[in-house]
Structure 1
Amino acid sequence: MLNAYRLHHAFADQTAVLDNVSLSLEAGEWLGLSGHSGAGKSTLGQLLAGHLAPQAGTIEVDGEALPRSGLQPVQWLPQAPELSVNPRWRVKRILEEAWTPPAELREAFGIEPGWLNRYPGALSGGELQRVCVLRALAPGVRCLVADEISSMLDPLTQLALWQALREVVDERRLGVLVISHDAALLERLCPRQLTLSEGRLSPSVRHGAQSA
C-alpha cells in the first residue's frame, strides 16, 4: 500500500540522514521503527506524510504519488501535538478541519464533550494528543505515522489510546508505522520492526507480538 523507494535526504552540511532508504507498509500492518536520537526517524516520517520532499527517491500510496494538496493519505502524528494545531482554533474546529468524528469514536478516545469548545492551550499534552490522533483518522486516510505519540501519557491512558486506535486500524485496514524508543511497546504492537542507523534501515522480524 505505502511504498518508498531509494529515499535520500541530507542536512545543509550534506550529511545524509537517509541514504537509499526503501520501505513498504501493507494494509492493516503495524510496523515498528526504532533508532537512536537524531538517526532520522522523524525525518523519514515527515517524508512519508508529505511534510518534507525527498531530495531523491519516490513515495507512493496504492501505486500513486502523494497528492500535493488536500487530505493526505499518510498522516504524521508528532510527539508534540501542539505543533500540528492552530492555537487560535477551538477543538471542535480542529477536528472538523479533517472530518466530523462520531460521538462514539470521540468517547472511545476519551475526548470529553466539554473539550470541544476549548482552545488547545486549555488541554494537557496527552489530551491534545488524543484529539490529534482522532483528527488523523478521517475517511480517505490510508496510513498513520505515529511518532512517539504516547511517550507523554501515563500507562493507563497510553493503553487506552492504543486499544482505541487498534480497533479503528483493524476495522479500516490502515497501515501504521510506529516510531518509538520504547522496545516493550514495539514488541506488543508490531510483528515486524526496522532499525534506522547511519542513514540505513535494517529489518528485524519479531514473532509473538501481542495486542496493546
Structure 2
Amino acid sequence: MLEACQLCYAFPPQPPLFEDVSLRIEAGEWVGLSGNSGAGKSTLGRLLAGYDEPTAGRIRIEGERFSTKGLRPVQWLPQSPELAVNPRWQVVRVLNEAWEPPEALRRAFGIKSQWLNRPVRTLSGGELQRICVLRALAPGVRYLIADEISTMLDPITQLALWQALKAEAEKRKLGVLVISHDAALLKRLCQRRYHLENARLHAAEHHQLP
C-alpha cells in the first residue's frame, strides 16, 4: 500500500497549498484525484513519488519509507512529457534508461520500431507521452501517478493508451493514481476518487460507469 499521512505543503508566509492530507492506494487499485487548477494536485503527485518533500507528514510503502535513489518504486508521469526527458537523446536511450520493454508491449502502446532511433525532439507530444508511460513500467515499479497524461491526445489515442496501461497494470497489480479534470474518465477508470479543494482532500462519491 502507498500511504500518505497528514501531509502539509506550504511556503511561509503563504498559506498552505494543502494540509492534513491523507490517502492510500492499494496494490492493483486505481484511485482518482480531481480538483480545480492550482489546488495542488500535481504537487501532491510529486510528493507521493518522492520528487518533493512535504512540509509535514509522511509517505510510506507497506509502512516503510521508500528510497528515491535509483529506480523509484513510485513513478510520476507529468502532463508535459518533454519535461521528463533529454530532447537530444534517441528514443531507444530514453526507454533503456529504465528497462528494455519487449516488442509486444511496445506495440500495445502504439510505439513503432522506426521511432527508436529518432531523437526525442522529433516526436509529437502524444508520441512522447506513450514513450514516457512505457518507460515508467520498468520492473520494480509498484505505483504510478498519472498526472493528466491523456489531455494532449486525440480521443482514439487516449482510449488506446488507457487500455494498454490498464491491461499492464492489472497484470502486475500496480496501484495507479489518476489525476484529471475529466470526471467521466475518473469514474470509468477508478474504484475510488478524491477531490482536492480549499487545501483539504475529500473523498468523492463514486459510481463506476459501465
The bucket for the TM-score relative to the shorter chain is over 0.9
What TM-score does the superposition give when structure 2 sets the normalisation length?
Answer: 0.97
Counterpart CA distance in 2 for 1:57 and 1:168 is 32
Deviation at 1:161, TM superposition (A): 0.2
Q: Is the 8 A contact 2:88 2:121 kept in 1?
A: no
Q: Is the 8 A contact 1:9 1:56 kept in 2?
A: yes
Q: Which runs of 5+ in 2 are unaligned?
A: none
Deviation at 1:68, TM superposition (A): 3.1
Q: Which amino acid aligns with 1:205?
A: E
Q: Which residue of 2 aligns with 1:69?
A: 69
Are residue 165 (structure 1) and residue 185 (structure 2) matched? no
Q: Which residue of 2 aligns with 1:102?
A: 102
* 1:9-158 pair list within 5 angstroms: 9-158=9-158
Most deviating of 186-195 and 12-21:
12-21
Deviation at 1:12, TM superposition (A): 4.9
Q: Is the 8 A contact 2:34 2:41 kept in 1?
A: yes
Is the alpha carbon distance of 1:154 and 1:101 closer, same or farther for their aligned partners in structure 2, counting shifts above 3 Å? same
How many residues are paired up? 210
Counterpart CA distance in 1 for 2:91 and 2:62 is 31
Deviation at 1:14, TM superposition (A): 2.7
Counterpart CA distance in 1 for 2:85 and 2:56 is 29
Q: Is the 8 A contact 1:49 1:72 kept in 2?
A: yes
Is the alpha carbon distance of 1:118 and 1:42 closer, same or farther for their aligned partners in structure 2, counting shifts above 3 Å? same
Counterpart CA distance in 2 for 1:38 and 1:208 is 26
Deviation at 1:54, TM superposition (A): 0.9
SS at match of 2:17: strand
Residues 5-62 of structure 1: CA distance to partner in whole angstroms, max 9, x if unpaired? 1111013543211201111000111100000000000000000001101111111112
Q: Is the 8 A contact 1:143 1:176 kept in 2?
A: yes
Q: Is the 8 A contact 1:191 1:205 kept in 2?
A: no
Residues 121-153 of structure 1: CA distance to partner in whole angstroms, max 9, x if unpaired? 100000000000000000010100000000000
Q: Which residue of 2 aligns with 1:196?
A: 196
Q: Is the 8 A contact 2:71 2:140 kept in 1?
A: yes
Deviation at 1:105, TM superposition (A): 0.2
Counterpart CA distance in 2 for 1:13 and 1:82 is 32
What TM-score does the superposition give when structure 1 sets the normalisation length?
Answer: 0.96
Q: Which runs of 5+ in 1 are unaligned?
A: none
Counterpart CA distance in 2 for 1:118 and 1:86 is 13
